[in-house]
Structure 1
């Protein structure tokens, strides 16, 4: 009998022994005896609750787990995501060896494991069969509200995190706004501003921090797309609204702070609440201004026929007319587009620069493809005149798309699927049946790097692995089914990321312009040079310590 069964047996035996005593005390009740009985019952109840809190359910104990205390320490230390998974992964290896679930450290990782978080045992899968199951059965795997600190207040009830009934209501307004093309000028203009600043680094030989600059550029592109207004964080990173937004993002993913049970009453919690209120004022002003502008245009009989260049907010406002989609619904979906459309794309571009800098031969191959499509643009022209690709040109960049796909395989912007909860019993690929109410997640990072599904070169940067999948239309398929759900950075099923095409167009435009303008290499941080940089806390992958050195093409000729 294992230790968990032994503990449970002792607990049940104790309850059986205490039951007659409690009945006897009840029959001969005196104040002291009643107090003693209450203490016994209370202690037994607390022990049972603690047991349920710390010990996995019986039907899940066959899966390896890093354990409760290791998990608590890893989350509380505020480790970066990749550093945190090293700690948890080592604990799971030790657990597997101790329990005979593995014969050596070199055994392949288990397809399913258990993770403890905030009092819940979460079943985490890292295999294509079960990930396909969760992504294509969204009503069975219902989304769970992420209510830590003021995060729920910040994000609101939006298309991404809402449960199925609310999602069905909101998608009628939000989805149509994303079923469109994206004018490359929406990204080319912010990219020109980025290049203007990067030219100074290239001229001086100073190193560049890609995550910082990509965050700023992507924020400008997003606000241009979302509102038709560029926040110009490239040139004004310290403007009040840019600082407010960036602070909100940093604090909303810091579990080491949010796990504080007194967070809402703390100084940090009160500051967070004030920042949310300030950001709401900005958003509601934009919503009200755009609503008034649309009404004025309609009254004047004006109409904008350039569908691909229209901003999302006005398209959602128009789609919401005559529905129950409220001003607060607009606000919540603009916020999630900020988070999902800005942060994830910026991270993808940062890792693309990083990996291309580590692999000059792949960088040059991508550059030559861009040149073959756009022509070898003069890299000495002013940044304001820098070419950006047309829609037809960016869609023709097959190898560059494979580069983007491989970057997202190795460093998916969302490393772990946000938690779900089963609404009905579910049977996993190994035959385990999960009862309704089971917490569930998927480890995309591990899936994308598993030798079992990607071969012995799973950890290598090899964009050409996707060239064989190019379809008759000349396009690289970006849906999970094309890779049998081994590749899922944008999710899948009906609730696939609505901003996928937005992100892909932005990445192709920005990277093609950088490839025409510069060559670059990774320098500095020793950990980054190994191919696995340090990261920030949270399951959105933010690289730390990555630096590149840029050289203007033609400057050394």
Structure 2
């Protein structure tokens, strides 16, 4: 399978190095810029995002970097980011890292260019699938998959083993989106190794990131083996989804899930349907984006809860108080876990698992009235630095403190200072799905287990376009008090099917 070398379009009339910023020279860049190579000193191919965070601290709220002739403008100041969030003047820009995924997901919801019509078509058709009624329908399946996770963790407790948090959260969120969205079971918890879909998905994300820092002319030389591996990964993702869609067509309509909507729903105004190719692209988009970022968010939250027992105790007390002795919480009870949600939000503040988004100018303008931008000029928002802006979050912005998200504190902050799901019309369509799933799972795990951190562990963050804590393992103890959710014992799906039953950025709250 041949790989395309598609790149994001360069604004017409401008050299690539200018990016449509007429006064680019006014924006600081790192010292010791090298001819041809640019600002590559001190930059690791494994941690480019975290290296950029270090540069941001030294260079300020807007800066630029050049890598092999490609110039990037980075923004993280709260006032600048708020201006970029103005939908009348700015729109989503499909930056290089995201564009590198287009060979496999094309014009899916996450990767479509603004001018491509399939984005609006798919958005209008699929948006109702994330409304309140649909979410309530997903809730029993989320409980069932969480039950499989807890069965798995119970076996680890019995054997005295620590659990692989990122690995198990990936299994959980993959099964959740596969079940709720597509009626499919990957059998992740019955496998000793990751499902091949996960392996292929991680491979494509890692390869997309590597392409960000390799000059295009050198790709055939430096990425020759990686290109072959990536082609095989893309072919596997395509085959998996094609088989899933083929099975659904053969079986007839499912339960009105995402796949049913993709295959059967017409646009309410135009009567258009998604093409077969676009259905494949949307399914891959949801399977990848629908589990990768949520698994990271859960993993970071569990890390911080284990390291902050006082926060874990408050969260657990809230779960016990709100859920009481109910065998399994109802849909409405999840939103009542306000402190648990604060824990999740604070974890997403420190380590937003989708760590950047790009914005482009719709017309000639000036960013915050200071930096002129021509039409199509773009900038990359560094979300972890936005979430650490001391002007907004205070001098202790590195400290883990869920009370930053109590209602009074949230009301006191300016808009557009917390952006873990992007911004504007192209923000994450599945935000409420992810937040409900993650809050539910944290509540279930806190009610069932005490978390025991490894005292020698220091947070390290793996980058593959998304962020994930590396090598995080936790010890567990079953609580002697508290109800055991029925989902952990003999969960049943709605269709009657039984379920098997130190931080890189100055500590970041460690």
What TM-score range do you get, normalising by the shorter chain? 0.7 to 0.9
User: Which digits, 9 at most, give the CA deviation of each residue in 1:476-531, with x for residues without a partner?
Assistant: 99xxx9751111111222222110010011101111110011011321544x2xxx
Q: Which runs of 5+ in 2 are unaligned?
A: 1-14, 482-510
User: Which digits, 9 at most, give the CA deviation of each residue in 1:361-386, with x for residues without a partner?
Assistant: 10010001101111257xxxxxxxxx
1:541 corresponds in structure 2 to: 467
Q: SS of 1:184's equivalent?
A: helix
Higher RCO (CA 8 Å, separation ≥ 6 residues)? 2
Q: SS of 1:272's equivalent?
A: helix
Aligned counterpart for 2:114 among listed residues 151, 164, 169: 164
Residue 176 of structure 1: CA displacement? 2.9
**What does 1:272-351 correspond to in 2, within 5 Å?**
272-294=230-252, 310-320=256-266, 322-351=271-300
1:63 corresponds in structure 2 to: 27
Structure-2 change in CA distance of 1:119 and 1:336 (3 Å)? farther
2:145 corresponds in structure 1 to: 190
1:230 corresponds in structure 2 to: 185
Distance 2:212 2:278 in 1: 30
1:27 corresponds in structure 2 to: none
2:308 corresponds in structure 1 to: 359
Distance 1:74 1:169 in 2: 44
Q: Is the 8 A contact 2:97 2:212 kept in 1?
A: no
Residue 246 of structure 1: CA displacement? 3.9
Structure-2 change in CA distance of 1:397 and 1:373 (3 Å)? same
Larger fraction in helix: 1
Structure-2 change in CA distance of 1:496 and 1:522 (3 Å)? same
How many residue pairs are counted as aligned between the two chains? 452
Q: Is the 8 A contact 2:20 2:376 kept in 1?
A: no
Residue 405 of structure 1: CA displacement? 1.2
2:450 corresponds in structure 1 to: 519
2:377 corresponds in structure 1 to: 438
1:508 corresponds in structure 2 to: 439
Distance 1:116 1:265 in 2: 21
**What does 1:115-134 correspond to in 2, within 5 Å?**
115-117=65-67, 119-134=69-84
Answering whether residue 208 of structure 2 is matched by residue 248 of structure 1, we say no
Structure-2 change in CA distance of 1:151 and 1:56 (3 Å)? closer
Residue 54 of structure 1: CA displacement? 9.6
Distance 2:344 2:414 in 1: 15
Distance 1:82 1:223 in 2: 29
Q: SS of 2:399's equivalent?
A: coil
Q: Is the 8 A contact 1:351 1:411 kept in 2?
A: yes
Q: Is the 8 A contact 2:355 2:467 kept in 1?
A: yes
Q: SS of 1:541's equivalent?
A: strand
Structure-2 change in CA distance of 1:465 and 1:59 (3 Å)? same
Q: SS of 1:122's equivalent?
A: strand
**What does 1:196-207 correspond to in 2, within 5 Å?**
196-207=151-162
Q: Which runs of 5+ in 1 are unaligned?
A: 1-50, 97-109, 298-302, 305-309, 378-386, 471-475
2:406 corresponds in structure 1 to: 467
With the length of structure 1 as denominator, give the TM-score of the two structures. 0.74
Q: SS of 2:64's equivalent?
A: strand
Residue 115 of structure 1: CA displacement? 2.6
Structure-2 change in CA distance of 1:328 and 1:522 (3 Å)? same
Segment of structure 1 superposing worse, 191-200 or 126-135: 126-135
Distance 1:359 1:542 in 2: 19
Distance 1:334 1:314 in 2: 11
**What does 1:29-44 correspond to in 2, within 5 Å?**
none
Structure-2 change in CA distance of 1:388 and 1:319 (3 Å)? same
Q: SS of 1:457's equivalent?
A: coil
**What does 1:75-114 correspond to in 2, within 5 Å?**
77-81=44-48, 83-85=50-52, 88-89=55-56, 93=58, 110-114=60-64
1:400 corresponds in structure 2 to: 340
Segment of structure 1 superposing worse, 80-89 or 215-224: 80-89
Q: Is the 8 A contact 2:171 2:189 kept in 1?
A: yes
With the length of structure 2 as denominator, give the TM-score of the two structures. 0.80
Q: Is the 8 A contact 2:353 2:467 kept in 1?
A: yes
